[in-house]
Structure 1
Amino acid sequence: MTRIRRGYIARRRRIKKRLFVSSFRGGLSKRTRSITQQERRALASSHRDRDRQKINFRRLWITRINSVIREGWVSYSYSYSRLIHDLYKSELLLNRKILAQIAIANKNCLYLISNESIKEVNWLEGICRSNLNGVPRRMNSGRVKMNKKSSQKKYESTQSIKTF
C-alpha cells in the first residue's frame, strides 16, 4: 500500500505553537512536547503575574505616599491610613497612583490636599454630631431603632392620613 500523507491542520497547529516559543532556548523551542508544556507554563505565569503586578504597584504607591507623609510634610503624627480615611470622608476621589505622583513631584500640593481634607472632615463631623436627634441609628441586631421624638412624629403623621 502506498503511504498516505496526513492533512495540514495538525502541522499548522504545531507551527503556531513553535512561533509562540521561538525565542526560548535549546530544546524548549524545538521539541513538540516541550513546546506545548512551555506554552502552557508561559501563559499561566503571565496570567498570574498580571495580578501580581497590580498588587506590587499598589504597594509601591502606598509606600511612596506614606514616606512623604511621615517625613513631616503633611502634618504632625499623621499617617497614610488617616489621610486615605479623610480623603474618603471629604469625598476627594484621588486614587493612590495620582497621590503617589503628587507626593513625589510636589510635596506642597499633597500638604494642601491633606489640610483641605482635614478641615472638611472636621466640619462634616461637627454637622453630624449636631443632627443626631432625628436620624435613625442601627443597633447590634441590625434593625433600625428610631429616637423617641422622631418615632412619635411618624406615628402622628400616619394617624392624620388615616382620618381623611
Structure 2
Amino acid sequence: MPRAKRGFKARRRRNRVLKAASGFRAGRRTMYRRAAEAVRHAWMHAYSGRKQKKRTMRRLWIVRINAAARQEGLSYSRMMDGCNKANIGLDRKVLAELAIVDPAGFGKVVETARAAL
C-alpha cells in the first residue's frame, strides 16, 4: 500500500506561507521552513506595530495641539482642561487637524476653552 503524502492540503498551506513571504530576501522567500519562521515573526511585529501606531499618532497630535495652543498663549494641559470643562467634544485627532487646516477656527476653540477655565 502506498504511503499517504498529504498532497493538496499541505501544498496549499505551504503555498499560502510562501506567498506571504514573497517580498522577503534569499531563502526566507523560497524555503518553506525559513519562510514560515520569517512570516511568523513578521506577523508578530505587524501586530505590535498596529498597537504602536496608535500611540505614536496620539503623541503627534498632542505635539501639534500643544504648539498651536502655545501660539494662542495657552499650554496643552490647560487647553484640554478648558475643553473638558466647556464640554467641547473634539478629540485630539480633530483638534490637531483643525490646528493645521483652520488656525482661526482652532483659535476660537482655544478662546472657548480659556473662558471655561
Q: TM-score normalized by structure 2?
A: 0.90
Contact 2:82 2:114 in 1 (8 A): yes
> What's the CA shift string for 1:11-68, capped at 9, x where partnerless?
2211111111112111001112111111110110100000111111111111111111
In the alignment, what sits opposite 1:6?
A: 5
1:92 partnered with 2:84: no
TM superposition outliers: structure 1 runs of 4+ over 6 Å = none
In the alignment, what sits opposite 2:24?
A: 24
Q: Helix, strand or coil for the counterpart of 1:17?
A: helix
What is the identity, as a one-letter code, of the residue corresponding to 1:6? K
In the alignment, what sits opposite 2:69?
A: 69
In the alignment, what sits opposite 2:56?
A: 56
What is the identity, as a one-letter code, of the residue corresponding to 2:27? G
Contact 2:83 2:112 in 1 (8 A): no
* Higher helix content, 1 or 2: 2
The root-mean-square deviation of aligned C-alpha atoms, in Å, is 1.5
Whole-angstrom distance in 1 between the partners of 2:95 and 2:101? 10
Larger Rg: 1
Whole-angstrom distance in 2 between the partners of 1:69 and 1:84? 10
In the alignment, what sits opposite 1:41?
A: 41
Structure 2 counterparts to residues 117-128 of structure 1, below 5 A: 117-119=113-115, 121-122=116-117
What 5-or-longer segments of structure 1 have no aligned partner?
123-164
Whole-angstrom distance in 1 between the partners of 2:57 and 2:106? 20
Whole-angstrom distance in 2 between the partners of 1:39 and 1:50? 16
Whole-angstrom distance in 2 between the partners of 1:42 and 1:4? 35
